[in-house]
Amino acid sequence: MRYAHEVGNVRKAERALMARLPDGALMQRAAAGLASICAGLLPAVYGSRVVLLVGGGDNGGDALYAGARLARRGARVRAVRAGSKIHEAGLAALRSAGGRLLDGEAEAAIADADLIIDGLTGIGGSGGLREPHASLAAHASTAAGTVVACDVPSGVDAGTGRVEGAAVHADVTVTFGTYKPGLLIDPGASHCGVVELVDIGLGDDLPDPDVVAPWPEDVRPPEPGSESDKYRRGVVGILAGGDAFTGAAVLSTGGAVHGGAGMVRFASVAHPVELVRHRWPEAVTTVIDPGGSPGRDVLDAVGRVQAWVVGPGLGTGDAAESLLTAALATDLPVLVDADGLTVLARRRDLLLRSAPTVLTPHAGELSRLIGAGREAIEAARLEHVRRAAAELDATVLLKGSTTLVAEPDRPVRVNPTGTPRLATAGTGDVLSGLIGALLAGGMPALDAAAAGAYLHGLAARLAAAPDPARRGESPISAHDVIRALPEAFRTVARSS
């Protein structure tokens, strides 16, 4: 796992460590790591042109000391001061090593540089960049040279990933001590490029992480053993689809079939059942009489399952509410998506249960669930997914460019495999069936939701992988994601 800590916790750990170290030692550790990574990015350090964008804080000092190390190895290092303040000891070290402070001509120096180190603002920065920082960030982001951000790209909120106005677009971000949430969550994550972590000795002083992001080896879906049968592998029940939205039935069932379920039991009105039987003959189906039995009788007719998926394309009327009520009244894990979330927005009392509940909203659906504006949720996704998990006492998977998964009093899981290619109709239905299969296989709710998001994103990337005969990625559909799921499972299995 990549462990991320919020800014206040990082600051506390830094103060505790600095109290045990000689003055300036922590900054030297950071500068040494930064300089080493920068040196590796240059074809040759000697003779290379390096520009430092230096603010008045400690990040500016890190950049200056790193620049001094590169200058001692023969690089032509020039510093551009943003504002009236500068880290005087760092500047003295740079000058002593042969670097110099530019007086004007910053734009030309940036354009001509082989490597640009962004030390304008640090992890304490928030809000939009002001001048001259904004202009320097813009020049760096469009320059031909490699851009390396020091700890966090300037203009990115290290705690949340928010970007308000101008911000540096880095090729590489060198972060110190621990990851910061804003490096893992969009839009901040999209400004970071490759993130390199430099160990400066904070480990023993850091508390439990606030946010975590998995590596492939951390994703461990259930594996069948020699004693497995379809029941031991997990039976997932899906209540989805209707006469108006038949595709959701087919896609959520496909996500479960290719998501490792031992058996998929699907129930809906006649037409979606007909389509599921045709596309997924391995699914066991039950036809619901639209004017017939209440939800509890329907669940009994479906048969024994280990987890329920309720909502995709189900509708939001009385029949859908009856089915959702019955599923949430069981002692089984239940995933609620799409129309099921709309029903829950008016029946939050249904969430008063002890069994695991997974909710998979996008920002608009979450807005209805917790009464927050959609734009506010998009602007502060980490804050709102935590709030939702606490208010609803559920595992909440907030879909988006960076999918977040939260449970009360647990580190938030960040999915690193998301791709804009998933912004197409039906992919959320696939995700619901996939996570349902993982729940039925015995994974805890937080692990199932996080693993499902990881595999879902990975499958989309594999499906969109460039054809050697063409340029760029291919457009994909929800069915392409389903077809790529087996390869996604094989990819994470090879990493274990």
- Is 154 known to sit in a ligand binding site? yes
- The stretches of 421-477 forming alpha helices (DSSP H) are 427-440, 445-463
Contact 439, 448 (CB under 8 A): yes
- Is 362 known to sit in a ligand binding site? yes
pLDDT for 475: 87
- Is 402 known to sit in a ligand binding site? yes
pLDDT band at residue 474 under the 50/70/90 scheme = confident
- Is 61 known to sit in a ligand binding site? yes
Cβ atoms within 10 Å of 204's Cβ, excluding its own: 8
Q: The whole model's pTM is what?
A: 0.93
- Is 260 known to sit in a ligand binding site? no
Residue 285 pLDDT > 80? yes
Same fold across 2-213 and 218-495: no
Residue 323 pLDDT > 90? yes
Beta-carbon contacts of residue 257 (< 8 Å; ≥ 6 apart):
264, 280, 282, 283, 433, 437
Residue 221 pLDDT > 60? yes
Beta bridge partners of 408: none
pLDDT for 289: 86
- Is 384 known to sit in a ligand binding site? no
pLDDT band at residue 18 under the 50/70/90 scheme = very high
Q: How far is CA 443 from CA 42, 219, 263, 275, 306, in A?
A: 45, 11, 16, 29, 11
pLDDT for 128: 85
- Is 119 known to sit in a ligand binding site? no
CATH, domain range 218-495: 3.40.1190.20
Return mean pLDDT, the chain: 94
How many residues appear in the chain?
496
- Is 248 known to sit in a ligand binding site? yes
Highest-pLDDT range among 79-88, 223-232, 384-393: 384-393
- Is 418 known to sit in a ligand binding site? no
How do the domains of the chain map onto residue ranges?
Answer: 2-213, 218-495
Does domain 2-213 fall under CATH 3.40.50.1000? My reply is no
Mean per-residue pLDDT, 359-370: 97
Mean per-residue pLDDT, 286-300: 85
pLDDT for 470: 56
pLDDT for 356: 98
- Is 426 known to sit in a ligand binding site? no
Query: What span, in angstroms and rounded, lies between the C-alpha atoms of 401 and 416?
Result: 10
- Is 118 known to sit in a ligand binding site? yes
Beta-carbon contacts of residue 484 (< 8 Å; ≥ 6 apart):
459, 460, 462, 463
Residue 354 pLDDT > 90? yes
- Is 127 known to sit in a ligand binding site? yes
Residue 99 pLDDT > 70? yes
pLDDT for 218: 94
pLDDT band at residue 228 under the 50/70/90 scheme = low
